[in-house]
Every structure is written in C-alpha cells, then in structure tokens.
Amino acid sequence: MHTMHNHLIEKQFQITQQNKTLDSQKKELTLMNQTKDKFFSVISHDLRGPFNALLGYLDILVDDFETMDDSKKQEMISELQKTSQRAYSLTVNLLEWSKVNRGMIANEPSDVAVHKVIEKTLGLLQFSLQTKTQKVEFRNIPGRYMARVDPNLLQSVMTNLVNNAIKFTHKNGLIRIETSHNGEGIKICVQDNGIGIPAGQIDSLFKPGNEFRQTGTENEAGIGLGLITAMEFIKMMGGNLHVTSEEGKGSSFCFTLPDAPAAH
Ligand SMILES: Nc1ncnc2c1ncn2[C@@H]1O[C@H](COP(=O)(O)OP(=O)(O)OP(=O)(O)O)[C@@H](O)[C@H]1O
Ligand SMILES: [Mg+2]
C-alpha cells in the first residue's frame, strides 16, 4: 500500500515535469514559427523592392540606350549601383540571420583587442559617415581593452550598432563610442543624438514578431533583423545588451564582454 502510494506520487511528479517540458517546447516552437514567418515576409516583401527597381532601370537602359544622353545614362547607372548595394546588404543580413537561427554561426573566442575591432568597423563605415557628415567621438587607447570573444561576432555587432546610429541620426549628428571596465568585464556603448525610440517600443525591439521599425533620416531602408542578430551574438559572446533612448534626443546601446584572462 505504502509503495503503491509512493509510486503514484512519483508518477504524478513525472507528469508535472513532462508538462513543463512540453510547455517550454511549445514556447520554443511558437518563437521558431514567428521567426520563420518573419523570414518569409522579409524575402517576399523587402527583397522584391530592390529587384523590381533593378529590373525596371535595366529595362529602360536596354530599350532607350541609343537615344539617352550620357548624363541620363550616368544617373541611371548610379541608381543601379545604389539599388544593387541595398539588395546586397539585405541579402547579407538575411543570410547571417538565418544562419544564427539554424545554429550555424561559429563561435571561436580568442584574445581580442576591442579597439582594433572598433577602428576597423569605423573604417568600413567611413563612406556612410561622410555621406551624412556625422562626427564620431572615440578615444582609442591601444591594448587597454582585451576581451575573450570571437572577433567576427564582435565586428558584426559593432557594425550593426554603428550602422543604426548613422541611419537614425540626422546629418551633422554626433556618434560617441565609449569603452570602460565594469564588474562584469568590458562595457562598450554606442551613443547617438538621433531620432530616438518611443518609450513603449524599447522592450519589444528584440522580439522576432515585432514590426516596429523606422526608415533612416535620409530614407535608408532596413529589414529589422540587425538588432535581433546583434543581441543573439552578444549572448553567444557571454554578454548582455542594454538600451536607453529618448524620442527626439538620441539612443544608447551598451553591451558587456568577458575580459581576456590575462587582462589586468
Ligand atoms: N540608434 C537608433 N536610434 C533610433 N532607433 C533605432 C536605433 N537603432 C535601432 N532603432 C530602431 O529599431 C528598429 C530595429 O533596428 P534593426 O537594426 O533591427 O533594424 P533596421 O536597422 O531597421 O534594419 P537592418 O538592421 O535589418 O538593416 C529600427 O528600425 C529603428 O526603428
Ligand atoms: Mg539596423
């Protein structure tokens, strides 16, 4: 009788555990499904735009090439260049993000000089910065900040955050990058004095089902995958991301990274 009772309690316990597992699997599946929906909506909606433009410009060029004057040709070719660049960056984002979701991103930490990665990122974004005549404030202290992370993940996170700062800040705006040590390791902040994010939207920025996104101050396009990917990469590196923003004033995206063991 006694053992029978115990047996029942044990069974009940097992069922409760199984229910919990099912519950969390259900949540995970729902999230994956939302992610998949987003993926297909991005492919069908956002990639179609630039490709329509490309095909349209090419049609005109092919049909009217003989009669078109050189300056018109030049204008169309630079439109083709801009649109191709946009289609390319959408595709790169999309592929990177889909790799994240299938667990296909490599994470091979080594000792990384954080400032070198930041300098490299700024170099790559020089063109966009110049186009919007924005200033970057960043004090490079070589060798001071050594993190134990995968350099490619860090580079991708920095590119996403600085890209956003450029995109959502007006011409002649200011972007500030600050690095410091805190209790958790190395803290990196990307700050801007741009358009900011409405208070109610900040928490939902990282949800795949979230549709909040804006075009840049110069109408720069985006698909709304940059932040979700950055967040995922920061988690992979063992850090976390903190956002503060005020509409009309600017935003600040801060994240932490583990110190390299040999660091002081
Ligand atoms: N620095 C910022 N200032 C103001 N709003 C921002 C900033 N960074 C992100 N946002 C808001 O968060 C949204 C999501 O950002 P995210 O980087 O994921 O997408 P995106 O830049 O629109 O597109 P993508 O990065 O995929 O090209 C943006 O559309 C924008 O509304
Ligand atoms: Mg972005």
Please identify which residue in the block is written with the tokens 């660049």. Answer: 85
Helix H or strand E encompassing 180: strand 174-182
* Ligand 1 touching residue 227 (CB < 6 A): yes
The residue that leads in pLDDT, 200 or 173, is 173
Of the residues 100, 168, 229, which should be mutated to test ligand 1's pocket, given the most ligand atoms within 8 Å of the CB?
168
Of the residues 204, 227, 242, which should be mutated to test ligand 1's pocket, given the most ligand atoms within 8 Å of the CB?
227
48 has pLDDT over 90: no
- Dist. CA 168 → ligand 2 center (Å): 9
Domains and CATH numbers, the chain: 2-101 (1.10.287.130), 110-257 (3.30.565.10)
Question: What is the arithmetic mean of pLDDT over 68-93?
Answer: 88
115 has pLDDT over 60: yes
Q: What span, in angstroms and rounded, lies between the C-alpha atoms of 68 and 34?
A: 47
Question: What is the arithmetic mean of pLDDT over 194-210?
Answer: 86
In three-state secondary structure terms, 92 is helix
Q: What span, in angstroms and rounded, lies between the C-alpha atoms of 109 and 151?
A: 7
Q: Which amino acid is at 168?
A: F
